[in-house]
Amino acid sequence: MNKPSRRDARLAAVNAEAPTNLKLDHSPMSDIAHALTSGRVTATALTKNYLARIEAYDRDGPVLNSVRELNPDALTIAGKLDDTKPSVKRPLAGIPILLKDNIATGDKQPTTAGSLALEGARARDDATVVKLLRDAGAVILGKANLTEFANMLAIDMPSGYSSLGGQVKNPYAPTLVGDRGIPVVQPGGSSSGSAVAVAAGLCAASIGTETSGSLLYPASQNGLVSVKPTVGLISRAGIVPISHSQDTAGPMTRTVRDAAMLLNVLAAKDPLDPVTERQKRPVDYTADLAIDAMKGARIGVPSDPADPLNDCYYGKLPPKWVKVMTEAIKVLEDLGAVIVRASMPTPGWIGGPGTTMAVLNRNPLSRHAGTTARPPVVFLYELKRDLNLYLKDWATNTEIKTIADIVAFNEANAGKALRFGQDLFLAADITRGDLSEREYKSARAMDLLSAKTRGMDAYMNQHKLDAVLFPGSGGCVIAAKAGYPSVMVPGGFVSGADDKDTPDYPLGITFAGRAWSEHKLLRLAYAYEQASNMRKPPPGLSAL
């Protein structure tokens, strides 16, 4: 007689409490909240079912590897919430949510940023966003895998790889290349585990983080909605940092309404993050989500056929991307939007003089090994200061207290820790760590001048725009440098990567705008989402 598999045992354990009339592979969080409110499902049943899906698809089956560690107290927390229904006061009561593993929790779960150097490291307290989620009734299901240190350790590290958690796979195209184990289709930016888990139905929603593209890119690659908020809308206190100038947390969900629900919870002023004191937000981000929100909106498409040499966002798109964007723009026009086609000023591409640093690429698995990479000066200089402060003020149960300690640990454990090197950490560690250098101050000023003043501001002012439409996450850099918000929504499907045939995988479209315009962008994204209905769950991950 065959011995039951771990998957069979898990399924048997949840069978009696399996949710009815809910398809967890693609049910919106709002539907799950309604089911909890009506008593059709309990928090315990939901949590057990998500744990079963994690066992079946993340640990077994295609082995997506998106969940780095489960919260050992998840079922206990859920049990305490079984008699609490979602309400205005506790809108997320009983809803299981995953956190990217650079978001601190003051519980039994380590906070590691995917690094072997921080294996077992705990946090002295919950990050502010975690406190807000718990207060709203969320069940913290576990920690999602990520690109190690949010992709600021090594040049050309594959998205979704960490020395502690391994490689996250894209659920639409999970194939890895040969013995190198690198994805043919990337799972996205550093929040790839958070995105894959939502796409695969392993949680109701997740929280990721972005410095430049790490919410938008994985959302695009996994057919999700994400909000990259204005810097200062959501507290960064207790989040392992890269750059305080650009870092932010944000929701990853299956629908625009779900993202708005989470933004209602997460957008709060916090004395631990003084930049939140200037925030501006509506009472309710879910208010006025309507399909007629697009009517009369002026949407900038930064592409002018008469100016092809200045068309960095649309000019070199692959044919399948062109088809998706053409169809998306047609939907916007049918909804009553005014499409304004005009190239964005050249200074707004990626930055101005002196904003990057030359770093030798010694990644042995990189196609560009031995050449010079040009990472942003602001990232490298702020990384040392900000990470050292996190390790000093938040990290416990670890002897690692500085970025220099991480570099030394990695060198001592190179066989396991340095598969792709640590060239970016080496470059960051030679800075002073106090942001006193002239080159840092100049680079930050130049970023704002090129991306904000002469970039997004100039473009939106000149054409009187409500939002700017970018293909995929193509506009992430200019919005991130300006500290401006973006909303990603599924736009369609493409195929092929690195000259290889692949299954179809998602491509999103991004609405970007001015500071604190999240509500406007959500309304525009909702109108498009309802008219296009482009999200489809990954194949082969059906309800259990």
Instruction: Provide the residue type at 209 as one letter.
Output: T
Helix, strand, coil tally for the chain in percent (to 5): 40, 15, 45
Backbone conformation region of residue 359, classed left if phi is above 0, alpha if psi is from -120 to 50, else beta: beta
**206 and 198 Cβ atoms separated by less than 8 Å:** yes
Q: What SS3 class is residue 129?
A: helix
Catalytic position from the list 66, 190, 194, 450: 190
Q: What SS3 class is residue 32?
A: helix
Instruction: Provide the residue type at 519 as one letter.
Output: H
User: In angstroms, what is the C-alpha Rg of the chain?
Assistant: 22
Report the distance separating Cα 139 and Cα 333, nearest Å: 41
Angle at 231 between CA 447 and CA 116, to 5 degrees: 90
Tell me how far the alpha carbon of residue 352 is from its chain's centroid.
26
**67 and 197 Cβ atoms separated by less than 8 Å:** yes
Report the distance separating Cα 441 and Cα 443, nearest Å: 6
User: Is residue 214 annotated as a catalytic residue, yes or no?
Assistant: yes
User: Is residue 100 annotated as a catalytic residue, yes or no?
Assistant: yes
Catalytic position from the list 30, 162, 214, 343: 214
User: In Å, what is the CA distance from 94 to each residue of 50, 82, 133, 146, 162?
Assistant: 12, 7, 11, 25, 30
| CA-closest candidate to residue 62, choices 213, 170, 184, 183 | 170
Report the distance separating Cα 229 and Cα 234, nearest Å: 7
User: Is residue 169 annotated as a catalytic residue, yes or no?
Assistant: no
Angle at 265 between CA 259 and CA 270, to 5 degrees: 125
Catalytic position from the list 30, 48, 66, 100: 100
Q: Which residues contact 34 (CB under 8 A, 6 or more apart)?
A: none
Angle at 375 between CA 372 and CA 378, to 5 degrees: 145
Report the distance separating Cα 505 and Cα 520, nearest Å: 28
Active-site amino acid positions:
100, 190, 214
